[in-house]
Amino acid sequence: MGELMDKSGLKINIIRSRRKTMSLEISGENEVLVRAPLRISKREIVAFVDKSSPWIEKHMEMYLEKKSRKESIKGLSEDELQNLKDRALQVFPEKVKYYASLIGVDYGRITIRSQKTKWGSCTERGNLNFNIALLLAPEEVLDYVVIHELCHRKEMNHSKRFWDEVSKVMPDYKVHRKWLKDNGDMIMERIRLSLN
């Protein structure tokens, strides 16, 4: 991985690979990551970053705001965590049973975990795993994840056919998927802090 600094003091980390285009992501405070083709020059990378400065400013602001929100998060008390676990044992089986009959699929074992990155998963055998942090999200978001995993009983991929299945049950699923993308790490952080 290469590294550059632009004239404004922005740190530019570079990962080169056999890709054809450049892409950009915020990787830290005043820091960006550029994924670039193998043969592209440093000068071209700096020009790309300069040209992308409005995007960088906007997303850096969002990154800093998210970081600030994350630093203010408090974990759950032992009682709150236990209540969440007790609720999970009731809520997830009820939701799975309801939506499985709606979708027309069967399923295996239901497991509830405190995971750092995954909201849910479905195995080839139909065993379902859900993240306890979903109980801190709006109910429609939890429903979306249950529906998403159950639709994998019909399509074990994220093809158009899979999303069509999700859409049949929840036409506005994109709203709830976006909520998870925007806020999910905050509620996972609350659980993580509670388990430390």
Beta strand extents in the chain (DSSP E only): 2-5, 11-17, 23-28, 31-37, 110-113, 120-122, 128-131
**Per-residue confidence (pLDDT) for residue 73, from 0 to 100:** 80
Rg (CA), the chain: 21
Residue 58's contacts (CB-CB under 8 Å, 6 or more residues apart) are none
- DSSP 8-state symbol, 154: T
CATH 3.30.2010.10 range(s) for the chain read: 78-195
pTM: 0.70
Q: What pLDDT is stored for residue 96 in this prediction?
A: 98
10-residue mean pLDDT profile of the chain (196 residues): values are 72 92 91 93 91 92 82 83 92 97 96 88 95 95 98 95 97 96 88 79
78-195 maps to CATH 3.30.2010.10: yes
Q: What is the pLDDT of residues 42-88, one digit of tens each?
A: 999 989 999 999 999 999 998 888 888 777 788 888 888 889 999 99
Please tell me the total number of residues recorded for the chain in this structure: 196
pLDDT of residue 33: 93
